[in-house]
A and B are shown apart, each in its own frame.
Chain A
Amino acid sequence: MRASFSHVFNVPALVTEVPMRGCSKKGVVETKFGSLMNFTKGGVQSISVNPKHYVFSNVFEVASQSKPYERVAVGRNLNYVLEAVRSEGTSPWYAANHDEAAIVMDGEVEVHLIQPDDFLLPVGKEGAVALAREPKGQRMGWMKIHRGHMALLPKGAAYQFHGAAPGVLLIQSIKGECTVEKWAKICQTR
């Protein structure tokens, strides 16, 4: 009987349908991106370590199992986080005392920004804060971004996402009250 890595280690097989060269056909370039509807996970093939230490997940899988705009941590480096977000419909208004950045991994999303004049976040408060309502203040403008685009979510501004269809964002931020940590549910554990 032929054994494979996937049998031995109980993780996805090393060899998949992904082409082994840069081109799917001779001379035709095909850059492989993932999406909510079409992703294949890799994995940790342990030889002598606990795979949990590698905190392995996939942003498309996480978003496929998330509620809209649930900010699920897929990376944490002390107080810093990377959050995977399912963008679908209209999000709450958020604000933070520091810059954040949002990278669109799938789909298209609008980002609306307001310079608030009716609230101030507490000094030292870290991470994104969900606001109870749209803040009063000057409208800063909006942008439409899609896969591969990276948007600045500037310090002190309130922002709201709107996605007509489900998409996936990766947000660079600091751990805060909106950050959801459910590592055992999203990560490879053995």
Chain B
Amino acid sequence: MSLAPLTQVRNKAVNPPANKLVSKLVNKQGYQSFQIGQFKFERDEYFAHILYPGNRHIVPIEAFLRALMRDIAWGFFYGTVNFDRVFGTINHYGTVEMFVGLNNTAYRSVHKEYVETFSSKDLKRVFEAVIEDWTNAEFDPFGAPAETGNAYGLKQGDNLKAVQRQRLSAKRMVGLPGDLKMRTEEDGFPVNRAFADVPQDKPELHPAPGFEGQVYAVNLFAHLSRSDVTWNPSVVSVVRDSLLCATTEEFVLPVIHGNDRVEWLVQFSDEIIWDVEDKITGMPACKVIMKPGDVAAMPADIRHCGYSPKRSMLLMWENNDGTLPHRHASGELAPYPVEF
């Protein structure tokens, strides 16, 4: 199904002055409300309320905080982060569109979508303020459901240590001197309960004097087994714009990720089931079942959500070339990576 061109239907507001981004009002449940542009965010015991001109969208608070956490940690990621089938953000790498109904066929067919554009820095600042205030002491939005307390109820403290984690990126390879550190017991990263059987041995290295930083290897699976977060890829190896992003997954990907380029998946362990849909209309495209050793591309014109019944290890392979979104959007590049 084709939709009307965006330029004809989009309601676009003007980015507001930076000094009016956050409104510190505390409601009777103890939570602050926040505003940026024409969007206002409120929470109660069970829901996030997203108010925008003429209407309101509601998301269960646990799902909202999990999605918001990824959007912040990933720096709005590659392309679209759909919190659900109505609300989300689109990264334009410097600016971000925040929308209601933009990728929803029903909203679009009656021109009920609403979009505003913000500087990435401003929106990130507001999102960070929201997650810091709305996350209670016992809830970790990065944690698997079996490993964290509940997100609901009246305001009860905070969990700044959990929500201020950032996406970790190696410059060359994880573990190299001066680069991203390996996770260790001493640094507060115990082996996760679901990876208790993953060997923790180290590679056998025999560098000649002077080549210690070049004859180098790490136990990547051990590093992953100590991850304290789910659905939060970290860059572990870099070859120019080719980024190996390793991650551990459990339960459900908290967002529906819409690609603006091709990304690849390599299943290291266990199993993930992906529901794949058309990026704009949400029409079901396929299921991709990934078992250990499986490799699959996620084309540039889809959105996807993953389900990991047991904590699993996944390699996401990204191309960080900043020209790709435009080259895909303009049709210069096909949405899929290989013709055969």
Contacts and interface: CB of A to CB of B under 8 A. Distances in A.
Interface stretch (B125-133, B157-165, B189-197): B189-197
A21 B144 CA distance: 14
Interface string A83-116: 0100000000000001111010100000101010
A98 B267 CA distance: 26
A3 interface: no
A123 interface: no
A184 B340 contact: yes
B285 to A, nearest CB: 5
Interface stretch (B96-104, B114-122, B233-241): B233-241
Interface stretch (B25-33, B63-71, B85-93, B294-302): B294-302
B84 interface: no
Chain B interface residue number, banded = 35 or more
Contact of B266 (A51, A75, A187): A75
Contacts of A147: 221
Interface string B308-340: 011101000101010000000000000111101
B217 A113 contact: no
A165 B291 CA distance: 24
Interface residues of A, number: 78
Contacts of B283: 48
A51 B237 CA distance: 29
B57 interface: no
A39 B297 contact: no
B287 interface: yes
Contacts of B20: none
B305 interface: no
B264 A150 contact: no
B286 A54 contact: yes
Given A29-B195, A48-B285, A174 B214 contact: no
B266 A170 contact: yes
A143 B205 contact: yes
Given A12-B289, A45-B288, A149-B203, 12 more contacts: A31-B198, A31-B269, A34-B291, A53-B297, A53-B335, A54-B336, A75-B295, A82-B295, A99-B172, A100-B239, A143-B205, A168-B293
Listed from nearest, the 5 A-B pairs whose CB atoms lie closest are A148-B221, A42-B289, A34-B292, A183-B340, A53-B336
